[in-house]
Chain A
Amino acid sequence: MAAAVGDRARPVEPGRWRGRLLTGALMLPATLWYLVLLVAPIAIVLVFSFGNRTRIGGYSPGFSFDNYANAIRSPDPFLTSLFLSVVGTALCLLVGLPLAYFIATRATKRKALLIVLLVIPFWTSFLIRTYAWLLILGPEGLAGFIKDLTGSTSFRILGTEPGVLIGLLYGYLPLMIFPLYVTLERMDRALVEASKDLGAGRWATFRQVTLPIALPGLITGSILVFIPMMGEYVIPQLLGYGQVYTVGNLLYSRFLEARNWPSGSALAMILIVIMLAVVTVYVWLTNRGRTVRNVSVV
């Protein structure tokens, strides 16, 4: 009669076949999206990459590896993109982590407000925001101010890599902050308290309690920032004055200026393969030594 609660079978937990149905239903939309709107377009890009271009540009059927052979004339755009992405991601992390930590742990009542305030600036249009940066960092703004201060005649922020980095930091900060925030926010404050009670200093607590908990968010954030930064070309073009020439500029030039879809496609495929390898290695490295329990929460 008064058996223990756990003794009885759990009549309402989904059975095995219903479980499979549930899994299928959950995964169906995203899988469909990937197949139709990712795999199919990439197949098109792949086919293009082996083709020829017509006189007026575009694509005409063919099969040759020429486009791959001629895809990379110089490593410089790649190196520039790599530099910008690595430094840019690091900057986003340095600037974003304390902010995410503050909102997650200190801003008890105003969390929602602070979070929404983070994205509102990005509901203004990208181009006019960038024009604003041109003014702020240009000869009538910060650069002019520093020029007067130091007496230099040729000091410039815009048209240099630091100028581009400021623009990248600005544009990508939310992408770093949000993953960090959602992981830090789950942190049980009791752990931090306990750590301090046991004599660990603030830094040690941060390193051994906070950081491991934030790690999934850190990995997600760095991937979400680093990867798109590699393909970025508008910010380098506008804030870098075209002097900072990236892989994105190269893609744009091949596809739209030269209208050489096969050449652009080959370059894109090479880029995708390299980046996929980089991400795979990164994720594998950061997952080593972590016990990642794949446990279903439904």
Chain B
Amino acid sequence: MASPAVPIPASRSVGGRARAGVDRYGRLVETWLRGHTLLVYLFLYLPIVVVVVFSFNGTQRRVTNWDGFSLRWYQVVLADKAIQGYLLNSVIVGTATAVISTIFGTMAALGLQRTPRWFRAPFDALTYVSIIIPELVIALASLVFFASTIGPEGVVTNLTGVKLGFGFHTIVSALALFNISLVMLLVRARMSGMDRTHVEASYDLYGTPWRTFWQITFPQLLPAIIAGFLLSFTFAFDDYLITTFVNGQGTSTMPLFVFGQIRRGVTPATNAVAAIMLLVTLSVLLLGQFLTRRRGATGRDTSVAGMIAEQGA
């Protein structure tokens, strides 16, 4: 992973002249890469800027109707316990789904290599089917499934007398399906081409399987695990179809609220919520960056960000 121990002088290496010639385009390519990256981030944040601007819309009702600058919708959001409840539910759903999907998806990615072929083929097929099935279909089918098993008149309820019904557990379970597959695919892509040399080395040095995993394998997989966690959270947090079909009383989330506003007109309340969330998350991020940089300067950086940075250095 490190660059060669002994720097190779360009003029004396084989093909050195060719290398010097090729690097004429180097600058151009680097500039293009940077420019492209910047443009993509601008593209991603352009609608967000519009969302934040419209959170200051002084309109009485419809967000598309601009009516001067005002903080009224921030006042509404900060005073409305129902909206805060919806937001909290979204966070709960998002976090729970992300945790479950990341753990089980990673486990499955690790275990899949060890399974016999007769297991792997159908399992792969199911993985793809979990992504193929349109969300509306799995939402409705999951509803019927839950209703007939753990619903008030379901089979399981009648057999055991335990009324599970609908709620966070049904939402998270249904959302975790797609996200387990997602994490699994990400970790598998990361693992592809990885070999056992480090693992073998660790065993040779009398490392236990547990320590081997945590000190050798896990750090290598970490970017994929984090990526999976972030994506799962995002999908579960902002999910509409599955959530609305299998939710229970008291578990409505932000997406349900904003879609439910369509009938009477979507207000800037959701924009205000989004703006507040952006403020919080960006502050936390920047704070984290600041702290990491300080720690990195003083010594070995064992924070997650530092480890990721180390991987690619």
Contacts and interface: CB of A to CB of B under 8 A. Distances in A.
Most buried by B among A38, A133, A217: A38
Contacts of B125: 276, 280
B105 interface: yes
Interface in B117-174: 119, 123, 125-138, 140-142, 144-145, 173-174
B132 A276 contact: yes
A146 interface: no
Nearest to A214: B189
Given A23-B115, A268-B137, A295-B113, A182 B223 contact: yes
Contacts of A29: 103-104, 107-108, 180
Contacts of A135: 50, 64
Contacts of B46: 132, 136
A182 B103 CA distance: 17
Interface stretch (A72-80, A110-118, A148-156): A110-118
A20 B278 CA distance: 46
A261 B140 contact: yes
A70 interface: no
A293 B50 contact: no
Most buried by A among B3, B30, B207, B312: B312
B184 interface: yes
Nearest to A39: B126
A111 B312 contact: yes
Given A98-B36, A101-B33, A199-B15, A13 B203 contact: yes
How would you classify the secondary structure of chain A's contact residues: helix, strand, loop or mixed? helix
A56 interface: no
Contacts of A129: 47-48, 51
Contact of B206 (A12, A126, A224): A12
Interface in B22-45: 22, 25-26, 29-30, 32-34, 36-37, 40-41, 43-45
Interface size class of B (residues with CB under 8 A): 35 or more
Contact of A268 (B133, B192, B213): B133
Interface residues of A, number: 116
Interface in A24-70: 24-27, 29-31, 33-34, 37-42, 44-45
A115 B230 contact: yes
A113 B227 CA distance: 12
A119 B132 CA distance: 23
Contacts of B271: 128
B196 A295 contact: yes
Interface in A244-278: 248, 251-252, 255-256, 261, 264-265, 268, 271-272, 275-276
Contacts of B180: 29-30, 33
A182 B259 contact: no
Contact of A297 (B131, B191, B311): B191
B234 A122 contact: yes
A123 B281 contact: yes
Contact of A197 (B19, B254, B277): B19
B208 A12 contact: yes
B89 interface: no
B305 interface: yes
A198 interface: yes
Given A136-B50, A197-B14, A27 B285 contact: no
A82 interface: no
A133 B51 CA distance: 10
Contact of B270 (A128, A173, A179, A189): A128
Interface in A84-129: 95, 98-99, 101-106, 108-113, 115-129
A131 B266 contact: yes
A269 B192 CA distance: 32
Contacts of A248: 134, 136
A277 to B, nearest CB: 10
Contacts of B25: 202
Contacts of B274: 123-125, 128
Contact of B29 (A10, A136, A202, A293): A202
Interface in A187-215: 188-190, 193, 196-199, 201-202, 213
B185 interface: yes
B223 to A, nearest CB: 5
A160 interface: no
A30 to B, nearest CB: 4
Contacts of A297: 110, 113, 191, 194-196, 199, 217
B33 A298 contact: no
A216 interface: yes
Given A33-B177, A124-B274, A174 B266 contact: no
B114 interface: yes
Nearest to A20: B114
B227 A227 contact: no
A123 B192 contact: no
Contacts of B289: 110, 113
A141 B54 CA distance: 15
12 contacts: A11-B206, A30-B180, A31-B123, A40-B145, A42-B141, A112-B304, A170-B43, A182-B186, A185-B223, A197-B19, A224-B185, A297-B194
Given A109-B309, A112-B309, A182-B186, 5 more contacts: A12-B207, A27-B111, A185-B223, A297-B217, A298-B212
Closest 8 CB pairs of A and B: A26-B111, A199-B15, A41-B141, A231-B134, A30-B108, A132-B47, A124-B274, A132-B50
